[in-house]
Amino acid sequence: MSIFREHSLPLKYPITFVILNSMGKNKSLFDDDNPPSPAATKGARREVSSKKEVTPLERLKNLEDKIADAIEKVKTLKEEKTALEKTIKQLEARLDAQGQEIEKLQTEKTSIKNQVERLLNEVDTLEVV
């Protein structure tokens, strides 16, 4: 039995979390159901060792790419932050306007209530006479 749960942020980069539960053991997406055979493991080690032979220029290029990606992400996040701050200011202005409207309506309600009470008192005095 597997359980899938998704969660995404309202930003540009949704993050999805998937939780797999199989026979009481928690597994991630990277866990294999069947462990690799010893022969396959040796072949994989040879591949990894050949991948480790990266020249300093390639490492520098990879680092530059990572830095450029990070800079782009920071720019995007700053733009999103600015947009969200603008939205917050607009919502705060609406909230203030609605608060003032509520105060105005409460004042009007109190005034009408006082008028009705005064009229009822006048009706009571007329009935007595």
- Mean pLDDT lowest among 32-46, 54-68, 82-96: 32-46
- Against a cut of 0.85, is the pTM above it? no
pLDDT at position 8:
42
Report the pLDDT value the prediction gives residue 126, as an integer from 0 to 100: 86
Given a contact cutoff of 8 angstroms between Cβ atoms, the answer to whether 19 and 5 are in contact is yes
Q: Which residue has the higher pLDDT, 78 or 19?
A: 78
Q: What is the dihedral of CA 122, 123, 128, 129, to 10 degrees?
A: 70
Domain extent listing, the chain: 1-53, 67-129
- What pLDDT does 39 receive? 58
pLDDT band at 3 (very low <50, low <70, confident <90, very high): very low
Which pLDDT does position 41 carry in this prediction? 56
pLDDT of residue 28: 53
- Given a cut of 80, whether residue 119 has pLDDT beyond it is yes
**Average pLDDT of the segment spanning 48-76:** 88
Task: Express each pLDDT in 13-46 by its tens digit.
Answer: 433 333 334 444 555 545 555 555 655 555 555 5
Whole-number average pLDDT of the chain = 76
Query: pLDDT value at position 129?
Result: 66
